[in-house]
Amino acid sequence: MTASANNDPADLASLGQQLEQVLKLRVPPIGMRLFESNDVLTAIPKLRRPQAVHTTDQIVAQACRLGWTVGITADDLVGAQCKAVIGLGGQDEEWYSGQQMAGVWFATVEDSARHQAAMEVVPKGKYKALVVAPLAKWAGFGAGLDQPDIALFYATPGAMIYFINGLQWSGYKRFDWSMVGESSCADSWGRALKTREPSLSIPCFAERRYGGVLDDEMLMALQPADIAKALAGMQALSKNGLRYPFAQYGIQQDVRAGMGASYPAPKGAS
């Protein structure tokens, strides 16, 4: 396993392939980028434009589960909720009021408004278009268009904790991730686009119903360089006998032999 943290577009395909192999991913990682002009939608080769109104969850699914390159504007998305998370709409007084979700997801308008205020969203006004595509395809988009803002991948909880362990191998930091509930895309791509920090989420009802996310899948959104960092960390863990998939040891076995494969013997032990 090798990993590079530079910004060479060709490395994106390699990073994606390595991540798929190490974590045994069902679907490949994708990249997501916001653009300030709609002109990009005609500049990127083989880009698909929606022929119907969608949720952003569906657009993400088309990239990771079908392998498509898809570009959208606010007009392609249903309602203000999807638009607000990626900074293409919403975020006005009506949106923050939470009226649309009151009585559906939350008991009162006040509860709904608190939910809206808690969401991590890209500030509105700067961006006009969003493009999503498998990491392997970004190198073919041409200079200036070949770097996504963030990468995203779905994984099981076991694969996800191993990835996080890899992120924490060097330059350790504690991760504190929030759970907004419904509209949890704000916890993943909304937060990552806004902060550029690794952002983990439990995909919500809408992502599972409309975006095809499976029951046992979690979602990570982060900068591509952080994938390289995690791959290097997972390589180090593997050398210590800490590998994925996790080999089951047995709940009634003497644990010392298993622990001894990874941890040094205590001082004075014979």
Residue 1 has pLDDT above 80, yes or no: no
Return the pLDDT at 263: 87
Return the pLDDT at 194: 98
**Which of 84, 87, 110 lies closest to 99 in space, CA to CA?**
110
How many other C-beta atoms can be found within 10 angstroms of the C-beta atom of residue 83? 24
Residue 127 has pLDDT above 80, yes or no: yes
Return the pLDDT at 269: 58
Report how far apart the first and last C-alpha atoms of the chain are (Å, whole number): 35
Contact 98, 109 (CB under 8 A): yes
Per-residue pLDDT, averaged over 2-23, amounts to: 79
| Per-residue burial over 230-268, b = 16 or more CB atoms within 10 Å of its CB, e = otherwise | bbbbbbebeeeeeebeeeeeeeeeeeeeeeeeeeeeeee
Return the pLDDT at 5: 45
In tens, the pLDDT along 152-192 reads 999 999 999 999 999 999 999 999 999 999 999 999 999 99
Q: Enumerate the domain spans of the chain.
A: 9-243
In tens, the pLDDT along 25-64 reads 999 999 999 999 999 999 999 999 999 999 999 999 999 9
Q: How confident is the model at residue 2 (pLDDT cuts 50, 70, 90)?
A: very low
The model scores a pTM over 0.75:
yes
Residue 223: C-alpha distances to residues 44, 149, 167 (Å): 21, 7, 12
